[in-house]
Amino acid sequence: MELFVFVVAAAMSVVGALGVVLRRNPVHAALSLVLTLFGVAVLFVAQHAEFLAAVQVIVYAGAIVVLFLFVIMLLGVDRAENLRTEPLASQRVVAGVTGLGMLVLLTLAALSGDDEVLSRGEGIASAVAESDANVNVRQLATSIFSDHVVAFEATSVLLVVAVVGTVMLARRRKTSSEVAQ
């Protein structure tokens, strides 16, 4: 039975991932992402990680995909625009300088605060350990906020980049006849 569940969940994940990459319609790609996330949640349940499965469904399949769909719909996928004209003058230069500055700050913070991050993570884990929480929650808190805090924060940056990428991919170019109007 476990093999059957694994094969079905893995197939859901792979088919959904291919749909995300191969679909031209952004809404269909986002719905394929939901299929992938549900497949991963089933794999979590099969590994007896029910908390992670719930987080996978609630946070990612629920909140993040709804955010992606909101951005796609807000942009008006059916509307074409001229990408040669900039709505704000020099916005690309300001965005590049801001992005480079944030990258430098993030690198400096990671290099100078490594010991501080680990000591704060241990404090959070010990506060959770003092409560009557489940053992899995304590282990998860210790793992996330001490051992894997950099990966946890990098995931949040990745989600912001994904939203920006969704915005850029959803933009369509105007044809020459639409530009003349």
Q: Give residue limits of the domains in the chain.
A: 1-78
Indicate if the pLDDT at residue 85 is higher than 60: yes
End-to-end CA gap in the chain? 62
Q: What is the pLDDT of residue 36?
A: 92
CATH for 1-78 is: 1.20.120.1200
Question: In this predicted model, what pLDDT tens digit does every residue of 23-81 receive, in sequence order?
Answer: 888 888 888 988 999 999 999 989 888 888 888 888 887 788 888 777 777 776 655 55
Distance CA 179, CA 181 (A): 5
What is the number of helices (H) and of strands (E) in the chain?
9, 0
Tell me the mean pLDDT in the region 8-16.
93
Closest CA to 32 of 68, 75, 74: 68
Instruction: With 0.75 as the threshold, say if the pTM is over it.
Output: no
Distance CA 16, CA 20 (A): 6
Q: Match 């995931």 to its residue by tokens.
A: 155
Q: Match 């001490």 to its residue by tokens.
A: 146
Distance CA 148, CA 139 (A): 12
